[in-house]
Chain A
């Protein structure tokens, strides 16, 4: 009788999005220095103030060293051995999909996000498709523009809406925040910009698909979302990447500003290449995501389903400055084979009567390791702050690990903070029960896992929830045997 999980050699082949699109890329020489940053800035035709921002960030970055406190082990990254800029060769931004490189469109078809189809589906989802750092197609913009909503690439926003970008860029995640934030600030290539004007409810889900495609190109996406007073937007971020042998660095920043009475929902399905079954290759994902609820009654809700990347370092956070503001974090993280994830959230209570909720579900299989790391901080002035945290871990097999590191810092006597945590295993009894009803083992695992994650999945928009459920099943294939 063998009780160890027999990890089938399928896992590496299961990454069905692992293909490389052959589009001639314009790539900067390897290495990071002031000249490269000036090159990036010049290529993008940026104003002086932005170049200044980048150079200051670079200067600061050079004084920092890579953080080592996370429970992650990976080969040292040689930052001078990476190329920091790569753009598909397309001089003029396309005005319609017919101007877009057909091969690029074919890539999207493979990913199941045919833009043509989406355009036909009138007004359901708007996609600002990011392909290797430069936005090549933007749909529905006109429709959004009618309501005064801005949804474009950040490079474009720098040109078209410099005042907004200048006002908010780096205001939530300053370049001094951490090593990876400083790096991103110095070299970010593109990303999305969203502005929802006062009193406007965005009529559709805004969606960006990220994709890493050029060899040895670090990905430094930068997203900035500003929700003005009394506005609402739901934003979807989903990613897939081609299969690669060498590790790929990704250090993104997402900044969200939520003003008075506004609400932002940010949902992520992250499916970057996790490496093969032996832990070879895979994306290194070091992300800084933070939202500031600046006005009273502001609300931010993060929902994430993390199934990809070899290494994940990610803590989407909520800074609750406005009185009565609300922060939520719903997360499902799945690791299999040799994946490592150190992820969680930070809830910073500053305003009065602020509330936050954390629901984190971690599923570990194979030889993977997962850590929930969270901080709930209540400042002296945050009267009646309230937090509820629930961190559940599910283990599949006996060779994976799960760790929970919740930090709580409370400086206000009126705060009410609750923390619950559980660790459980999919038992042989549960599997046998399902099997004795005719349900196969893998289907049984996916049924049990989906049940475990349900509380989080129900916060995803419908079409995303379906995709996420599929991803969960793909991620866990071969995890029992």
Chain B
């Protein structure tokens, strides 16, 4: 079976202010694949996700990123999302006064509009959110609350996954989705993530620990240090990392 590349990152270099953070990063993710990116603190994992999603304040100095064959870096952050990239954030921000449901409806309809689909009305939208929410233990009371305001760590992460399941991206970056989660919440979140795996949907799972990968099993594992990938392997690489720590691999460079 021939593979269709979804995301192609070539020799990417990026900096924040004057500091070079990403240094010659290469990675190709094909349709349906789950890649795990593991690395020590400060390796630039979050920088990578921010650069891919177009956050202000990062300057790409070299390399290219293609998504479904399009030049991703030339798109605005919102257009990247509309093209099908989703970023599940490590620290989802709070937006006081904006009900979660209002926010979600704006997001869903912004993406639908981009694809020339009719916007969902409130009834259709709520029906969809209720169905998806049930699977993740997100009730209709929770989505009435202001976005992420006063949410527990677990609630925030479940909401991230809920957003992912209603926005239906073709590619998701899961940035430290396991941080701040207890084991039960981790299971719920992982089940939510796994439910989206349909053979086409792809993911880049960024994590410190192997723990998450017991639940969301990757096809490939990459060790990321000093701004680029230093080693790649199958899912067993994660176990090896867990045992030996990162120092070993960083040295191998």
Contacts and interface: CB of A to CB of B under 8 A. Distances in A.
A429 interface: yes
Contact of B96 (A429, A435, A452): A452
B107 A438 contact: yes
Contacts of A447: 95, 98, 102-103, 106
B98 A450 contact: yes
Contact of A438 (B50, B96, B114): B114
Contacts of A441: 76, 78
B78 A439 contact: yes
Nearest to A454: B97
B22 interface: no
Contact of B167 (A433, A438, A454): A438
Contacts of B208: none
B244 interface: no
B37 interface: no
B114 A433 contact: no
A438 B55 contact: no
A432 interface: yes
B74 to A, nearest CB: 15
B153 interface: no
B111 A438 contact: yes
Interface in B87-105: 87, 89, 92-93, 95-99, 102-103
A443 interface: yes
Contact of A437 (B56, B76, B81, B97): B81
Contact of B97 (A433, A443, A452): A452
A433 B78 contact: no
A21 B60 CA distance: 53
A398 to B, nearest CB: 14
A430 B99 CA distance: 14
Contacts of B77: 432, 435-436
B44 interface: no
Interface in B104-125: 106-107, 110-111, 114
Contact of B81 (A429, A430, A438): A438
A67 interface: no
Contact of A448 (B17, B98, B107, B110): B98
Nearest to B84: A438
Interface in A436-464: 436-441, 443, 447-448, 450-455
Interface residues of B, number: 34
B54 interface: yes
Interface string B46-90: 000010011111010000000000000000111011100011010
Contacts of A443: 106, 110
A1 interface: yes
A466 B86 CA distance: 32
B56 A433 contact: no
A70 to B, nearest CB: 29
Which of B17, B50, B106 has its CB near the most chain A CB atoms (within 10 A)? B106
Nearest to A2: B56
Nearest to A449: B97
A428 interface: yes
B146 interface: yes
Nearest to B103: A447
B163 interface: yes
Given A447-B98, A447-B102, A451-B98, A437 B107 contact: yes
Contacts of B97: 448, 450-455
A430 B97 CA distance: 13
Contact of B78 (A1, A440, A453, A455): A440
A427 interface: yes
Contacts of B56: 1, 428, 432
Nearest to A446: B106
Contact of B110 (A427, A440, A453): A440
B81 A436 contact: yes
Contact of A428 (B57, B86, B163): B57
A225 B150 CA distance: 44
A448 B95 contact: yes
A1 B57 contact: yes
A433 B94 CA distance: 9
A357 to B, nearest CB: 18
Contacts of A455: 97
Contacts of B81: 435-438
A358 to B, nearest CB: 18
A409 to B, nearest CB: 32
Nearest to B88: A436
Nearest to A422: B96
Contact of B54 (A427, A435, A450): A435
Contact of B92 (A433, A438, A440, A454): A433
Nearest to B53: A436
B122 to A, nearest CB: 15
B92 to A, nearest CB: 7
A433 B92 CA distance: 8
A82 B166 CA distance: 60
B82 A438 contact: yes
A443 B78 CA distance: 11
A481 to B, nearest CB: 10
Interface string A218-262: 000000000000000000000000000000000000000000000
Interface in B34-50: 50
Interface in A410-442: 427-430, 432-441
Given A1-B59, A438-B78, A438-B167, A433 B106 contact: no
A436 B111 contact: no
Which of A430, A434, A437, A438 has its CB near the most chain B CB atoms (within 10 A)? A438
A401 B208 CA distance: 42
A468 to B, nearest CB: 15
Which of A429, A433, A440 has its CB near the most chain B CB atoms (within 10 A)? A433
Interface of B: 17, 50, 53-57, 59, 76-78, 80-82, 86-87, 89, 92-93, 95-99, 102-103, 106-107, 110-111, 114, 146, 163, 167
16 contacts: A432-B56, A433-B95, A434-B78, A436-B80, A437-B167, A438-B82, A438-B107, A438-B111, A438-B114, A439-B107, A440-B76, A440-B110, A443-B106, A447-B106, A451-B102, A452-B97
Which 7 pairs across A and B sit closest by C-beta, in order of nearness?
Answer: A451-B97, A451-B98, A435-B77, A437-B107, A438-B81, A438-B111, A438-B110
Given A432-B55, A438-B107, A441-B78, 20 more contacts: A1-B57, A1-B59, A429-B93, A430-B93, A432-B50, A433-B92, A433-B93, A436-B53, A436-B81, A436-B87, A437-B103, A437-B163, A438-B78, A439-B103, A447-B95, A447-B98, A451-B97, A451-B99, A451-B102, A455-B97
